[in-house]
């Protein structure tokens, strides 16, 4: 258990975090070699990039803002010092590159440019993502974000992206505010740092990974990667024999992120994994004098926000909804109209003049939980149709048959007859919130109305 004083630290939380996150990171930097910030041109591919500013430095690597000398495009260089990489760190780096490459073009995933190696270092080049990290956005907004801004600018696009990754079998395992870039002006959300990402279809998720404060309970109690290695190598166990977890671990991290952005405080602070498990249980299950779980005591959260947090922070992953399911949560539904309006504006801005016959408000914009995913520029596209092969917005399905077909293809319903059965859930919720929230004729009114299981207290 964390000492009492430490737990009281939950109250202080991140609200006091300095705005300049990079300087905070630098202040904790180790004795890593100074990165080349003096723009010395060296031989080899590295010379293609002009280093501008160091963003982050650790013992193993440096992250710098740079510019492609030919295209002038801003990039981010992740430079790893080979001499300091253990074999497991090297394997992790290779895995990061593999994920970045395979997810290249997936909307919302930081864009991989290239990677190369010289005598001393391995470099990963990424496109510089738009906007600022969520932690900076929160700090620059007075220590917390309003619910509408958080849901529209961060939560909906991030949950859409998470659901997409999970459908592909990818679990990020490192969701936290420092790894989410947000550009409210364009609606873009970019997920960074795939160093802990894992493909469920290719390997067992059986090791502790991520950042303690955002780690789900079922991840906290797992052995470290080194311990797993030891078990397999020396104790002759197979990886499958070890207890595993799944993509619901990301959903927990999302809940922590939402709590932190709305309240300005981190919900769970502890000194180690064992301690953290006790803190999570205590914050969620122990009640204050008025019968409110400690986590919510003194917090001014809407019923929908509290319900979202209660769902995403379920200790048992079996009781935690999937990211796809969370898209139907009333918190997201409630703010759907604003998100939708932004998407319409973006569609309008992107529409070519020849497209004028199809006004952006023609109504086939997706709703949370609908048969759509996120497309180029954060725009919504039918699920199952991914934008990786195209840089232009994809056509949205027009007829209800198209919509139902997309939904069935995306696994939202086994059979189109279920569409009608589901009528009382999300759509009635949206009606009670003030009528049609902007999804016009032909839109997936009934598709998004899968049975709701979210109780808002
Ligand atoms: N492509 C990018 N575009 C813009 N900023 C970026 C990009 N990549 C990284 N950053 C910035 O650098 C910071 C560190 O990046 P990242 O988390 O990928 O590094 P890391 O060394 O793996 O961090 P850690 O291991 O401490 O989580 C981010 O929080 C962000 O501010």
User: If you write DSSP's letter for every residue of 95-158 in order, what string do you get?
Assistant: HHHHHHHHTTT-TTBPPEEEEEE-SSEEEEEEEPPSSEEHHHHHHHTTSS--HHHHIIIIIHHH
Residue 445 placed within a domain:
no
Q: Roughly what angle, to the nearest 10 degrees, separates helices 225-234 and 87-102?
A: 110
Looking at ligand 1, which atom is closest to the CA of residue 63? 12
ipTM above 0.95, yes or no: yes
Burial environment of residue 4 by CB neighbours within 10 A (0 to 12, 13 to 18, 19 or more): exposed
Residue 39 CA to its chain's centroid (Å) = 33
CA of 56 relative to ligand 1 center, distance in Å: 7
Average pLDDT along the chain, 457 residues, taken 10 residues at a time:
31 32 29 34 73 94 96 96 92 95 96 94 96 97 96 97 98 98 94 96 91 98 83 75 92 98 97 96 94 93 97 98 97 90 80 49 40 40 34 32 36 30 29 26 29 52
Interval 6-50: pLDDT, tens: 222 233 334 332 222 233 222 222 333 333 333 333 445 888 999
What predicted TM-score, i.e. pTM, was given to this entire model? 0.74
What phi and psi values does residue 250 have, to the nearest 5 degrees?
Answer: -65, -35
CB 402 within 8 A of CB 185: no
The confidence score (pLDDT) of residue 289 equals: 87
Looking at ligand 1, which atom is closest to the CA of residue 133? 31
Instruction: Output the domain CATH number for residue 66.
Output: 3.30.200.20
The confidence score (pLDDT) of residue 280 equals: 98
Residue 394 placed within a domain:
no
C-alpha closest to that of 367 among 452, 455, 447: 447
State which of 26, 56, 172 you would mutate to test the pocket of ligand 1, scoring each by most atoms of that ligand within 8 A of its C-beta. 56
Looking at ligand 1, which atom is closest to the CA of residue 21? 31
d(CA 349, CA 360): 9
The CB of 176 under 6 Å from ligand 1? The reply is no
Do 144 and 276 reside in the same domain of the chain?
yes
CA of 63 relative to ligand 1 center, distance in Å: 7
Do 136 and 122 reside in the same domain of the chain?
no
d(CA 135, CA 260): 9
The CB of 193 under 6 Å from ligand 1? The reply is yes
Residue 18 placed within a domain:
no
CB 412 within 8 A of CB 446: no
The CB of 57 under 6 Å from ligand 1? The reply is no
The CB of 64 under 6 Å from ligand 1? The reply is no
Do 286 and 253 reside in the same domain of the chain?
yes
**Which of the listed residues 93, 127, 161 is the one where a domain comes to its end?**
127
The CB of 75 under 6 Å from ligand 1? The reply is no
The C-alpha angle 132, 134, 140, rounded to 5 degrees, equals: 75
């Amino acid at each position: 258990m964390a000492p009492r004083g430490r737990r009281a630290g939950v109250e202080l939380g991140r609200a006091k975090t300095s705005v300049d996150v990079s300087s905070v990171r630098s202040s904790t930097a180790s004795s890593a070699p100074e990165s080349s910030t003096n723009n010395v041109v060296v031989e080899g591919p590295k010379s293609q990039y002009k280093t501008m500013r160091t963003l982050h430095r650790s013992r193993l690597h440096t992250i710098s803002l740079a510019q492609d000398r030919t295209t002038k495009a801003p990039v981010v260089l992740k430079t790893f010092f080979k001499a300091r990489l253990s074999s497991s760190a090297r394997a992790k780096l290779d895995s990061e590159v593999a994920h970045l490459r395979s997810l290249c073009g997936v909307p919302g995933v930081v864009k991989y440019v290239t990677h190369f190696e010289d005598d001393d270092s391995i470099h990963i080049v990424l496109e510089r993502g738009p906007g600022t990290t969520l932690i900076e956005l929160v700090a620059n907004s007075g220590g917390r974000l309003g619910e509408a801004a958080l849901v529209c600018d961060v939560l909906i696009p991030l949950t859409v992206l998470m659901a997409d990754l999970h459908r592909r079998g990818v679990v990020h395992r490192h969701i936290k505010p420092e790894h989410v870039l947000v550009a409210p002006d364009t609606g873009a959300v970019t997920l960074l740092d795939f160093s802990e990402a894992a493909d469920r279809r290719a390997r067992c998720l059986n090791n502790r990974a991520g950042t303690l404060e955002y780690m789900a309970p079922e991840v906290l109690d797992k052995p470290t990667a080194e311990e797993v290695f030891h078990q397999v190598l020396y104790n002759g166990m197979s990886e499958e024999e070890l207890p595993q977890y799944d993509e619901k671990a990301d959903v927990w991290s999302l809940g922590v992120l939402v709590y932190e952005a709305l309240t300005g405080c981190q919900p769970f602070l502890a000194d180690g994994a064992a301690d953290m498990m006790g803190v999570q249980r205590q914050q969620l299950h122990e009640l204050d004098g008025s019968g409110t779980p400690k986590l919510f005591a003194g917090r001014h959260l809407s019923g929908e926000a509290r319900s979202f947090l209660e769902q995403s922070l379920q200790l048992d992953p079996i009781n935690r909804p999937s990211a796809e399911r969370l898209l139907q949560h009333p918190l997201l539904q409630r703010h759907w109209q604003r998100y939708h309006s932004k998407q319409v504006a973006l569609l309008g801005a992107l529409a070519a003049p020849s497209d004028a016959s199809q006004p952006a408000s023609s109504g086939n914009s997706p709703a949370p939980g609908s048969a759509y995913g996120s497309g180029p520029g954060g725009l919504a596209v039918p699920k199952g149709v991914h934008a990786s092969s195209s840089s232009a917005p994809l056509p949205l399905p027009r007829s209800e048959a198209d919509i139902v077909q997309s939904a069935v293809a995306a696994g939202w319903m086994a059979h189109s007859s279920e569409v009608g059965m589901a009528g009382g859930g999300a759509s009635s919720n949206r009606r009670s919130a003030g009528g049609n929230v902007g999804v016009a004729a032909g839109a997936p009114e009934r598709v998004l109305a899968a049975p709701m299981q979210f109780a808002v207290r």
